[in-house]
Structure 1
Amino acid sequence: MPNFPVLFGNTAFPVNLVAIGTIIFTGLVVLVLMRVAVAKMDMRRPRGMQNFVEWALDFTRNMARDTMPTESAVRFVLPLAFFTLFFLFIANWLGLIVTIGVKLHHPIPWLGLTAAKLATTKGDVLFFDSPTANMSVALGLAVLVWLISHARGLRHPKLWFRHFFSPSPLGLLEEITNPLTHGMRLFGNIFAGEALLTVMLQAPFALGWIPWTLPLILVWLLYAGFVASVQAYVFSVLLCLYIGNKSFEGHAHS
């Protein structure tokens, strides 16, 4: 597994610079695409990026309506679900489109790239990757969804407290497992896809120049891209489901 530049590597809270950089990069890509979509809006005949964004918005709205109890809950979750879907779609594809790495021959201890760590990967250091291939990023997104869902549920404290024990006290256990499975599902699929792709790319060439793994790489890219797209959808629909389960507007008087 390649090394990453890390700040405060010897502390309990190391900061992965690659993850932070790719999160910012993905956010900028989303902002640019949104700006392009609204730059020349045509309400009668939408074209290009505007047409795609409007289709994605309608898709997300229908997804929210299938999981949220009321129309007001749909309006609440729609911006979050839409941008999460868009962000994750781009983030999940980043490591499949391009991966930037270097081979270091000298350690950089203040970035966590010690001689011992470089020795384990023969000096390979990754500087660009999918942010969702990082466990902390995926779990952080899941915990954020968990916090938002409970914050919305607390608008009706009695119903919020009651739902922990309905239909059984096992609801308390679900509050722990839901964010874990929500984030780990995203991380596991994206990381596994990119890890296997890295192995294929590092395989020795036949006769020193023939990439005998090229057919496998192309097939795996198609499959990994499909999984990356599906995982963006799965994470977003679970986001709507978890927040919808704690949107008690329809039961506020029960």
Structure 2
Amino acid sequence: MPVFPTLFAGTIWQTNVTVIATIILTGLIIFVVLRVGLARMDMRRPRGLQNLIEWAAEFATNMARETMPTEQSVNFILPLAFVMLLFLFVANWLGLIMSITVHFNPHISVWGLTPSDLAGSKGDIELFDSPTSNMSMALALAIMVWVISHARGLRHPKQWLRHFYSPSPLAVIEEITNPLTHGMRLYGNIFAGEALLGIMLRAPFALHWIPWQLPLIVLWLFYSGFVATIQAYVFSILMCLYVGNKSFEGHAHH
């Protein structure tokens, strides 16, 4: 079981330092890419990163228009959909691109971890990982979407209350399960991909020198990269769908 350096260990404020660091790194990567890609915009002959950014913006626009009921709600969700799509794409890939593990004596306390914590990981502390492979992070994103969707719905209180009873009172249960499945789907796919990759990387060589696992690692990297990309899309479009279902401005798609 991997362990991570922590702050405020043993309290309700316990914080995974690796997750915080990789969240900041993800934001910096997106900022730099957008800044460089749009620094020399050419409306007549777009090229390079500008083409990629414009494609991502168009993709997010189409995703929003497919799920939101009115143009007003499209304009509301579009900036968040665009940023969420980019953020999850980069975040989901981080742990596949690079992994950093430091080994410590499992009988000492270090970085907020006790000897019992280190014993479970055989002294290995993860310093670099996908932030979305952390369950708390994935569920926090899902809860954020849940809050935004209900805040938008509360702009029309009567319709917001009515939707809990249509088509059945079971809609109340859905409001509890939706954020759980929304976040756990993202976490489960990213964590499983990186966990299996870690097992392959630690597998011993055949006859102590033949890297038999190398073809499997390459295939798994391609598959995990595909899953990481799909999960960025799935989470983002479900976000648009959940917010769209509670945008009561109208019912016709534009």
TM, length-normalised to structure 2: 0.96
For 2:70, the equivalent position in structure 1 comes to 70
Give me the whole-angstrom Cα distance separating, in 2, the residues matched to 1:105 and 1:188.
Answer: 30
Give me the whole-angstrom Cα distance separating, in 1, the residues matched to 2:34 and 2:88.
Answer: 15
2:210 equivalent to 1:196: no
Q: Deviations over 1:83-125 (max 9, x none)?
A: 0000000000000000111111266636232212212221111
For 2:82, the equivalent position in structure 1 comes to 82
Say if 2:18 and 2:127, in contact at 8 Å, map to a contact too.
yes
The residue type paired with residue 175 of structure 1 is E
For 1:151, the equivalent position in structure 2 comes to 151
Equivalences for 1:13-52 in 2 at 5 Å? 13-52=13-52
Q: Secondary structure at the match of 2:126?
A: strand
RMSD of aligned residue pairs (Cα, Å): 1.2
1:207 deviates by 2.2
For 2:230, the equivalent position in structure 1 comes to 230
Q: Secondary structure at the match of 1:64?
A: helix
The residue type paired with residue 98 of structure 1 is M
Give me the whole-angstrom Cα distance separating, in 2, the residues matched to 1:147 and 1:158.
Answer: 18
For 1:12, the equivalent position in structure 2 comes to 12
Seq. identity, %: 67
Is the alpha carbon distance of 1:50 and 1:108 closer, same or farther for their aligned partners in structure 2, counting shifts above 3 Å?
Answer: farther
What stretches of structure 2 of length at least 5 have no aligned partner?
none
Equivalences for 1:80-159 in 2 at 5 Å? 80-105=80-105, 109=109, 111-159=111-159
Give me the whole-angstrom Cα distance separating, in 2, the residues matched to 1:247 and 1:108.
Answer: 54
TM, length-normalised to structure 1: 0.96
1:135 deviates by 0.3
Q: Deviations over 1:2-27 (max 9, x none)?
A: 21101122123310000000000001
1:210 deviates by 2.0
Is the alpha carbon distance of 1:241 and 1:108 closer, same or farther for their aligned partners in structure 2, counting shifts above 3 Å?
Answer: farther
Stretches of 4+ aligned residues off by more than 4 angstroms: none
The residue type paired with residue 156 of structure 2 is H
Give me the whole-angstrom Cα distance separating, in 2, the residues matched to 1:191 and 1:13.
Answer: 23
Is the alpha carbon distance of 1:34 and 1:107 closer, same or farther for their aligned partners in structure 2, counting shifts above 3 Å?
Answer: farther
Say if 2:205 and 2:211, in contact at 8 Å, map to a contact too.
yes
The residue type paired with residue 207 of structure 2 is L
Query: Bigger shift: 88-97 or 117-126?
Result: 117-126
Give me the whole-angstrom Cα distance separating, in 1, the residues matched to 2:248 and 2:106.
Answer: 58
Is the alpha carbon distance of 1:110 and 1:7 closer, same or farther for their aligned partners in structure 2, counting shifts above 3 Å?
Answer: farther
What stretches of structure 1 of length at least 5 have no aligned partner?
none
